[in-house]
Structures are given as structure tokens and as C-alpha cells.
Amino acid sequence: MLDILYLDDYLAIVNKPSGWLVHRTPLDKGETRFVLQTLRDQIGLHVWPVHRLDKGTSGVLVFALSAEVARLLGQAFESGDGLQKTYRAVVRGWPADEGLIDHALKRMPDDMRTERLEVQPAQSRFATLRRFELPLPQQGFASTRCAEVALTPLTGRRHQLRRHMKHIAHPIIGDATHGKGPLNRAVADLIGLQRLWLHAQSLELRHPVSGQQLRLESPLPSEWGLWNSFTEPSIQPPSGPSAAPSL
């Protein structure tokens, strides 16, 4: 059973578990857990996905109950009109207190719409919530620095947050594509769980029919508590705003 955060005649918004695909795909033939099919069976209605969350990402996920509402919401997600998303992540290193990442992204190979290379403007904001250390020696250091951050994508590009955090040298822990494999494995062994530590925590959007501004929140998964046992750093971390260059 999925945790349904909001349901009316037009929308179904759920709390997606980490490790579930949004829908079936030939790229992951061995997977058996799909949000679309489970939600359809749970509410007894056809549903249309409005946006995507990666398989490893948990949190707020929006479905429409008709193709027309899906089209309207798809346009809003593309333009960002009346839309704000906030994510929580655990990253390697100690980022600055806050910053803007302004870094254009190439379309990924399976998302290309033409044969010509497409580069799209992309911006994300981050704010560091907590810094801590893991008892994992890495690259000559006695411990591994990590941080919990809030992330706000200002544009909607594929893997945007994952790619942007890699760009500023603070990859998300558990990211097999854009992170560090040896570190991911060491952290998984330490805490006893392997996942992408990225969670879609809140979403604000304008209802496509009523025009009402909705705010949906997904509580942090219970496994997020595994990080609470790791201590704050004993030395002064970086402070102040930071901006990544536009490339």
C-alpha cells in the first residue's frame, strides 16, 4: 500500500518509497515494484504520471487522474509556474552555508530529442542544515566529512540535483551514477543500508482545476534517523554563501 498524501477527482499525490520505479521500463526489467500500477490498483482508477522521481529517490510524487489534467500539470512542471520543490539530501563534504548552483546541463543520451547536442540552463539552490563526520578513513584523512542539505531546483532537468551536487564536489551519498562508488559502499557497510540519500520533502503547486495553491509534505523516511548518531564536527566548518560558476 502506498501512502496517499492527497486525493481528489483530479489528482493523486503519493509518498514514493525509495527503490520503487515510477512505471515499468525496459531499462530495469528485473524490478517488480512500480508506483503507477500499485496506485492504480489501490484507488481503482487510471493514473497518469506528471513528473518523475529517480528509482532511489523517495518523497512527493504527483499523478493526474486524466490525460488533460496531466497535460496541464506537465506544462506547469516544465515552466515552473506556481511550483516550488524542496528536497533533503546527505552529501559528501562540508558545503558552505548556502549557495546558488548555476550550471547548464546536457540532455542525457536516453532523453535526447534531436541528434544535435542540447544544453539546457539549470539552477539549484542549496542550504546546509547540519555537518558531521563519519568514522571512515578516506584519501588519507581519519574521517569522512558529510552534511545534510536542503535543495531547491529552480529548473527541472533530468538528474539535476544529483548532477549539480557533483558539479560543486559534494555528491549525494548513495548516488551510483554521479557519486563515488567506494565511498557509497563504505557508508552502506557502516550504517547497514544502501540507498540514494535524496528525498522529495515538499511540493507547492497550483491546482490545475480549482487554482488553489497546494502544499504537500512527505516526512523523512525512518531510515534518515540512522544519521543522528554521527556527531557535529569539532573544528570550524565553512560559512557564508557560495556560488558555483555558470559554465
Task: Show which residues are catalytic.
Answer: 54
Q: Which cell numbers hold the place of 214? A: 497546494
C-alpha 216/C-alpha 58 separation (Å) is: 14
Q: Which cell numbers hold the place of 246? A: 555558470
Q: Which cell numbers hold the place of 7? A: 486525493
Contact by Cβ (8 Å): 168, 99: yes
* Phi, then psi, of 179 in degrees rounded to 5: -105, -155
